[in-house]
Amino acid sequence: MPEVDKADRRPAIEAKNVSKVFQGAAQDRVTALDAVSVTIRENEFFTLLGPSGCGKTTLLRLIAGFDFPTEGEILLYGEDIAPLPPHKRPVNTVFQSYALFPHMTVGQNIGFGLEMLGKSKAETAARVDQMLKLVQMQELKNRRTSQISGGQQQRVALARALAPHPKVLLLDEPLSALDYKLRKEMQIELKRLQHETGITFIFVTQDQEEALTMSDRIAVMSRGKILQIGSPREIYDRPAERFVANFIGETNFLEGDTVSTQADRAMVRLPGGATVDAGLPQGLKPSGKVTVVVRPEHADIVKAGQPATLAGALSNIVYFGTDTHFHVALDTGGEFIVRHQNSRGNESAFAVGEKVGIAFEPDAAQVLRD
């Protein structure tokens, strides 16, 4: 299966210790990227995820060639692309604002890159038609870009960037301007396009859900650094840092004491006395106090008296349609949230104020690096 293959593929983009400092007066100096290293493999859907200002767009612009790194190097298939201006890099960008040329038609926009590469008229026309078909926009070929909807503009921007067969496609928050439903559609569409074209996608977003659903691998960024790189599952189930755990999904944080450690696991004593077997981030050998995270859906709520890891009183029950959140005030202080998926006939047997226990699923706990 592709998941296995992709790990062996050769690197498409390698960033080695890349830093970017925006010069200015002393107080204006901004370190947008701080010694970032990452390898993005061929044919991978790679996502840079982080809040605004974390440096993800800066990294994208360095790869595109709009900015130049202060330090470090960026390799494209093993070749340093630092000396190349953007128009000589076999890399295309889908801009956040789409940046479609308003004085050209849809077809002219899509053909622009090919025309600049000196392709013949016939070849350009054929490729434009092919791209229009790929994004299902054939009938809008001769429209002005101002005469089509946001979602259609998005498709044109994609087709325009894909038309010249780039080795890597950069996508700078391309879905952020679309409404929820269209965004969902385009997520699937993008995934399909990536699959069909076999082009390496580097996707920048601050939407964790988008990142989880679309990516082969995700790099979570904050303040100019990459905090963790991994598959969506790894990032979600095994966050290595507090920021990652917090930024992606909902999490319960528990303070505990290390009892013993093995290669990649540790026994941690939680407040209240129970001991859990928790996963460790790579290379971490904890001792003493540690923070443990547990996702709300990796724990279950049980009646008092039954075997449980934690104990408390039910303080709130929130119904969400697909699932229900149980807020538990722990006896040792703090709050723990349990998410329970709803199904017909399992209406809650619990009442607010009731004493309850919280049982962890096996392997639910994960130790953080900080």
Partner 1 sequence: MATAREIAEAAERRDIRQRWLLSAPALVVIFFAGIGPLAIMVVYSFLEKSGYGGVVWKFSTAGWESVFFQRDIFDDTLQFADAHLSIFWRSVKLSVITTFLTLIFGFPTAFFIATRPERTRDLWLFLITIPFWTNLLIRTFAIQEVIRNEGIANTVLIKLGIISQPIQMMFTDFAIMLGMTYVFLPLMVLPLYASLEKLDFRLVEAGYDLYANRFQVLRRIIIPLVKPGIIAGSILVFIPCLGAYVTPRVLGGGKNLMIGNLIELQFGQGRNWPLGAALSITLLIIVVAALLVYVRQASKSGQRHG
**Residues near partner 1 (CB under 8 A):** 64-66, 85-88, 91-93, 95, 97, 99-105, 108, 112-113, 116-117, 144, 160-161, 164
Is the Cβ–Cβ distance between 296 and 312 less than 8 Å? no
Give Cα separations from 207 to 49, 220, 232, 238 (angstroms). Answer: 7, 11, 13, 19
Q: Which is nearer to partner 1, 30 or 104 (CB)?
A: 104
Least gap, CB of 171 to partner 1 (angstroms): 12
240-271 b/e with 16+ CB inside 10 Å = b? bbbbbbebbbebbebebebeebeeeebebebe
Q: Which is nearer to partner 1, 101 or 319 (CB)?
A: 101
Give the three-class secondary structure for 27. helix
Least gap, CB of 25 to partner 1 (angstroms): 12
Least gap, CB of 114 to partner 1 (angstroms): 9
Least gap, CB of 80 to partner 1 (angstroms): 19
Least gap, CB of 13 to partner 1 (angstroms): 16
Least gap, CB of 102 to partner 1 (angstroms): 7
Q: Which is nearer to partner 1, 62 or 100 (CB)?
A: 100
Tell how far CA 342 is from the center of its chain: 27
Residues 6+ apart with CB under 8 A from 53: none
Q: Which is nearer to partner 1, 164 or 230 (CB)?
A: 164
Read off the amino acid at residue 69: P
Q: Taking Cα atoms as reference points, which of 72, 83, 81, 90 lies closest to residue 32?
A: 72
Give just the sign of the alpha carbon dihedral 306, 312, 314, 320. Answer: negative
Least gap, CB of 197 to partner 1 (angstroms): 17
